[in-house]
Amino acid sequence: MRLIYKGFLTYGAARPLGKVVAAFLCLVSPVMAAEPVTVLALGDSLTQGYGLPEQDGLVPQMRKWLEDQGVEAELINAGVSGDTTAGGAARVEWSLTPEVDAMIVTLGGNDLLRGIDPAVSRRNLESILRIAQANEVEVLLVGLSAPGNYGAEYKSSFDAIYPELSEAYGAFYAPDFFAGLGGGDPAALQQWFQADGIHPNAEGVARIVEGLGPHLRALIEAAQAE
């Protein structure tokens, strides 16, 4: 996290007063000591806000959640509809501009829709984490669960990607993007989705944000501590 120091040019007897003023400013106005954390949200249509008015998408609703929590952060929407883990890996390096302090990675849904080999998805996500690590950017890796129609072996291999890579690279980990929607009967969950049954509606996004919010807050606090 980049810090902005308010320096005092002091000489002789003025130096002690300068120190007192500096200490007072740090106590009463800590926001003067640091910029808000800038977080890149690297993802696909779930991040981009497909099918929703801009204000109802994931990133705008997450901004509002953070504001309500009193957390100062700038979120950059780097969601691209249709993007796979390969697309994310291809653009992550130039997406991590110098002001970015942390990154949320929500990729893999389109890999599942296309039945991409989990080993390929793993390599792509690992590439993203490796680049983030080289740039000293904290990461929150958000997991997804594979459906059972590809078979037990595929599901086991895919589902293991997120926790294993998070541990290997010291990334923050949210086990399930859709955790905020709750479990139970899949048919009952459809009330939180748009007509396509894939993309959440505005209320669904709000629930997803409630589930992901604490993970994001922990990510931001870690970036602030650097």
Residues facing residue 7 across a β-bridge: none
Q: What letter represents residue 214's amino acid? A: P
Tell me, yes or no, if 199 is annotated catalytic.
yes
Residues facing residue 77 across a β-bridge: 41
Tell me, yes or no, if 56 is annotated catalytic.
no
CA 140 to CA 174: how far, in whole Å?
7
CA 81 to CA 211: how far, in whole Å?
22
In contact, 169 and 129? CB cutoff 8 Å: yes
Tell me, yes or no, if 81 is annotated catalytic.
no
CA 63 to CA 55: how far, in whole Å?
10
DSSP 22-36: HHHHHHH-GGGGBPP
CA distances from 51 to 116, 167, 197, 198 (A): 25, 34, 12, 11
CA 48 to CA 55: how far, in whole Å?
11
Task: Tell me the longest C-alpha to C-alpha distance in the chain.
Answer: 77
CB atoms within 10 A of CB 28: 8
E strand map for 128-168? 138-142
Catalytic residue selected from 44, 45, 101, 215? 45
Catalytic residue selected from 44, 166, 199, 215? 199
Q: What positions carry a catalytic annotation?
A: 45, 196, 199
